[in-house]
A and B are shown apart, each in its own frame.
Chain A
């Protein structure tokens, strides 16, 4: 009951603090911005979306007189490019990177030179499409020389027919963009990043709360109340943890609205709960070490930079030697769990190191809090 009153007061402090409410609002913008960025990246990098959004037809490829009369020009048109015929290569080079994305030139009897603008954001797709055209052209030239009939040429040019048979259509996942780029970006980074954002804020709220009490000289009074140190800590952290978890759950709902379904929310909740305890524990330890809110802000910023590195760098680094360790990183676990409709329940065992480390940080913070250092005796 005593803890309840302290928690209630802390909860009121959080809910009446305009800055915290502003940060919630900012997070919504971060989510919408990240979603928009993932959509834009997918459209630029995915050849299928590229065609369906009509971007390819706006890409111009410069070809010389010989190429324009050859089958190569037809293959380039098949890929969706607009062909621009040029007379002088020097002139064409001037337009490369501005109007033209690539230049093709029949440099000698049996040689074609392709120059592609590598700086273009569309480079990966342009490169892939031009390479496909070249492959077809080379094959056609050889087969033509061998004097094969058209049906054999067709088989040789298209030897594999891939048919997609959809399964479980009744339970189709309502993903906003059925693109691998979008899915990898959203589930591979944005989802764990957004779900952990409230806990970054939680460690700040903890330091604000504890260091703030000390600055206002109310901390001694609080410690003199008939509450044990553990009860004081629990009373302070319960509303903060609840507030952060509530935000994360709200962001899961927002993702659902944006058609990025987050699966297995209960498992995600469990991971977030323990990661949150770790973050709050770090906040408490920092609060014990510093003298003012200003110092606490600097220290927490640095601590969060290190936490960001530990949690997010593994998503972008290929490290075969550390693969076994990477499987236990909470963000990697979150990626796997949140994107799999039927996750293997045993996967949660991989969260044990996270749970142990977080509990250890939290226990250290509670023990440290009991120390007289808390009130600088």
Chain B
């Protein structure tokens, strides 16, 4: 492909902008790229659907079930003629069967139910006479889900007790007595909702940065595999222009992808405060991410090796982005602003952010960009790295830090 560019170059040689423009336009024309691009957008819609379902579950005030669709996860037989107890049981997780005690115990012994609750027949009399009700729970220890039933039965017994206590208190205490009023306030948004509305949406915006690694790998490793790298290196093109040209093209694609994703999130009702600032923060993070990808691509011999390197490289980057943000959720320290994701989350939260705080992630991203592009250009300039025999990683690192003598 570079032969085509070289045929069109001017006398001053190729600039990285020409390479960027060519790569960018070729990518946009590729039908396969467009297919993947739109499939990624459909993945975004799936995620929006899941997030909305989560948020609805959390906001429902009926308690959160970890696996809300698993109705019938556990089973319980109840001998409770007056339905005093069973009316309080949450049927979302537990299947309740009403039967006599003997039948229930038969079911329990046959492994057809996990537990039996026996509510005494004279319970109504006890309620009338202000007496204690002894509820018995026969729990199958052979079933690992016994704790699910135990917790639900405990919760139900507590609800029943509160109901009985209140009923007695209302009948025993004078109607004109002034009850103690308790006002409950909550400070801050709940952690699960914070994770959904701030962390998850922020993570979604950062996701496109990791979807184009293969494009860079193809662009750099592809030259090695297709054996066009030799021709490329023989031409009067500066390696830094090649690296910058290829990287800027991918950055352009990522910029479009983030803009589209943000637009979709806004249209589907998600709130993104300061969208332009958020956009710029995500985009500036893309620069060192591409830099790291180019390093991996420049060092790798083939697609497979690059793929493994990319997986581990991206795990490290995700760790770097995520850990300070998680730290920020629990401990709002200044250092957690090192991750642009933290800053995006703070923008979502409507925090007052001072200008110097913006400098922390931006400065760090600029520094990382300079380091990663510096390394990738150095690597790309070396014939042994591009054409082989490739030096080992330790040898390369020692050479980079100026310890050549140690390796002879």
Contacts and interface: CB of A to CB of B under 8 A. Distances in A.
A178 B43 CA distance: 37
B187 A160 contact: no
Contact of A139 (B71, B142, B169, B185): B169
Nearest to A19: B308
Contacts of B153: 162
A110 B181 contact: yes
Measured as residues with beta carbon below 8 angstroms from the partner, the interface class of chain B is 35 or more
Nearest to B331: A98
A295 interface: yes
Contact of B164 (A110, A159, A313, A336): A159
B214 A298 contact: yes
Contact of A180 (B136, B151, B181): B151
A137 B180 contact: yes
Contact of B165 (A22, A157, A187, A326): A157
A118 B187 contact: yes
Interface in A308-365: 309, 313-319, 323, 326, 332, 335-336, 339-342
B138 interface: yes
B2 interface: no
Of A112, A295, A302, A318, the most chain B CB neighbours within 10 A belong to A318
Nearest to B84: A160
Contacts of A168: 140-142
Nearest to B172: A146
B214 A294 contact: yes
Given A297-B214, A341-B111, A156 B144 contact: no
B162 to A, nearest CB: 6
Nearest to A176: B144
A216 to B, nearest CB: 12
A142 interface: yes
B111 to A, nearest CB: 3
A107 B183 contact: yes
Interface stretch (B189-197, B262-270, B275-283): B189-197
Top 7 nearest A-B pairs (CB, nearest first) are A342-B111, A188-B67, A318-B68, A119-B188, A118-B186, A171-B142, A172-B141
Interface of A: 19, 22, 96-97, 107, 110-121, 123, 134-135, 137-139, 141-143, 145-146, 148, 152, 155-169, 171-173, 175, 178-185, 187-189, 260-261, 292-295, 297-299, 302, 305-306, 309, 313-319, 323, 326, 332, 335-336, 339-342
Given A146-B177, A319-B53, 6 more contacts: A119-B187, A137-B180, A143-B172, A180-B151, A315-B67, A339-B145
Interface of B: 32, 36, 39-40, 43, 46, 49-50, 53-54, 57, 65-73, 92, 108-112, 130-148, 150-154, 157-158, 160-162, 164-165, 168-169, 172-174, 177-191, 194, 214, 217-218, 222, 303-304, 307-308, 329-330
